[in-house]
């Protein structure tokens, strides 16, 4: 019999498969990508190095990284028909709907017809997802058709350049590298598991990633950094933040950006992005949002023993780089596509269709009644 507790617990703690890609919440390093601690990767690597690690199985050497970055750069440039679709999407469209539709349309235009094409299709998505995001945003909000074929060497720099019409500060480029690395992979989370279920049916890569984007769109998975931003923007100073946080707790309101389904004592990604938020705050002369965020963290730990997850300080970090709040979760898509796609490749390499069972809770027997007698 299926354990009735499993459904209520959202399958937490249940092993649903094997992966060589990531560990979450285990002893030692709490988060590793193919054995490398997240702290080390965020400090020393560029996002493209981590993408290569996840998708190709090892860290690249100098020549491999140079070739891979050149390959991704060469794959930039939105198809005209995709631009037409993006221009038809209204300003008030949910940005995650834009990303989901953009991915699906790309699958129509550049369909994966054989699994031997998977690396080409994955790298194309990595190159284009920042363009999909920025092209729609700049067209719908600013009325301009941006040139996406800029000469930036990295995905991080390319995104910021398209968004702001100028090459980013080195500090911002490095902060974006760290952010993309922190979000790149996280084991069998909801969106990744969605991608693997889709892959297990031998579906195409664009369908797998589109399904994952759909899962990330839900407020219980993606979007916590957006809600954290909306909250901290409403606080005047740390003391005001503390009063309001205590009132929220008294009202038993859910406060986004704290706690985690797997981690029990801390989220190792938080310390990294918190340091970046502090540096970015100093760079822009912020005296409110970062201190407010720190006070929120202190209150939640003191009152509830709840720690910040990766999303909370991402809110202020992105804000300090001039990134509109509505683009926070689409950035997550750009990053996590590496993890999703790596899991699709892993699922395909040793595939069995993922088809769990359910415990039936309906009536044991129902008597048929003809329609005229119902």
Q: 36 has which bridge partners?
A: 33
CATH number at residue 311: 1.10.230.10
Do residues 188 and 239 share a domain? no
If we measure between CA atoms, which residue out of 167, 137, 134, 166 comes closest to residue 148? 134
pLDDT tens-digit readout, 226-273: 888 999 999 999 999 999 999 999 999 888 888 776 776 778 899 999
pLDDT above 60 for 108: yes
pLDDT above 50 for 5: no
Do residues 209 and 268 share a domain? no
pLDDT tens-digit readout, 44-56: 999 999 999 999 9
Confidence band for 1, pLDDT divided at 50, 70 and 90:
very low
Q: Quote the pLDDT of residue 9.
A: 57
Domain range for 339 is 22-220+326-349
- 210 domain-assigned: yes
pLDDT tens-digit readout, 285-310: 999 999 999 999 999 999 999 988 88
Do residues 340 and 309 share a domain? no
pLDDT above 70 for 162: yes
pTM for this prediction: 0.92
Hey, is 150 helix, strand or coil? coil
> Which tokens belong to 351?
């595939």
Task: Quote the percentage of the chain above a pLDDT of 70.
Answer: 94
User: Across residues 75-103, what is the average pLDDT?
Assistant: 97
Question: For 24-169, where are the alpha helices, taking DSSP H only?
Answer: 38-44, 47-56, 62-74, 80-88, 95-109, 118-142, 155-164
pLDDT tens-digit readout, 318-338: 999 999 999 999 999 999 999
Number of compact structural domains in the chain: 2
Do residues 57 and 79 share a domain? yes
Q: Which residues are catalytic?
A: 221, 260, 311
d(CA 109, CA 232) in angstroms, rounded, equals 41
- 355 domain-assigned: no
Find out whether 63 and 296 touch, Cβ atoms under 8 Å. Answer: no
User: Across residues 35-39, what is the average pLDDT?
Assistant: 94
């Amino acid at each position: 019999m299926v354990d009735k507790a499993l459904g209520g617990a959202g399958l937490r703690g249940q092993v649903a498969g094997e992966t060589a890609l990531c560990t979450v919440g285990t002893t030692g390093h709490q988060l590793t990508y193919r054995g490398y601690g997240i702290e080390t990767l965020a400090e020393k690597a560029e996002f493209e190095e981590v993408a290569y690690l996840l998708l190709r199985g090892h860290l690249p050497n100098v020549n491999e990284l140079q070739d891979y970055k050149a390959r991704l750069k060469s794959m930039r440039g939105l198809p005209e028909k995709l631009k037409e679709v993006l221009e038809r999407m209204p300003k008030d469209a949910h940005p995650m709907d834009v990303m989901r539709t953009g991915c699906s349309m790309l699958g129509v235009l550049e369909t994966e017809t054989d699994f031997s094409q998977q690396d080409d299709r994955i790298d194309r998505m990595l190159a284009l997802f920042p363009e999909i995001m920025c092209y729609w945003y700049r067209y719908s909000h600013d009325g301009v058709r941006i040139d996406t074929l800029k000469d930036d060497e990295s995905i991080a720099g390319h995104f910021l350049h398209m968004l702001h019409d100028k090459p980013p500060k080195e500090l911002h480029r490095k902060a974006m590298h760290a952010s993309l690395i922190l979000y790149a992979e996280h084991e069998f989370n909801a969106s990744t598991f969605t991608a693997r279920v889709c892959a297990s049916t031998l579906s195409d890569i664009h369908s797998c990633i589109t399904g994952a984007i759909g899962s990330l769109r839900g407020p219980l998975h993606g979007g916590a950094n957006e809600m954290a931003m909306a909250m901290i923007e409403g606080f005047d100073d740390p003391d005001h933040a503390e009063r309001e946080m205590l009132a929220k707790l008294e009202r038993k309101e859910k406060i986004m950006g704290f706690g985690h389904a797997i981690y029990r004592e801390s989220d190792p990604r938080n310390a990294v992005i918190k340091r970046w938020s502090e540096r970015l705050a100093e760079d822009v002369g912020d005296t409110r949002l970062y201190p407010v965020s720190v006070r929120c963290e202190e209150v939640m730990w003191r009152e509830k023993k709840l720690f910040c997850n990766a999303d909370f300080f991402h809110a202020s970090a992105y804000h300090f780089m001039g990134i509109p709040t509505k683009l926070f979760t689409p950035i997550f898509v750009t990053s996590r596509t590496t993890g999703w796609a790596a899991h699709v490749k892993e699922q395909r390499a040793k595939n069995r269709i993922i088809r769990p069972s359910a415990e039936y809770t309906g009536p044991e027997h129902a008597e048929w009644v003809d329609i005229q007698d119902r």
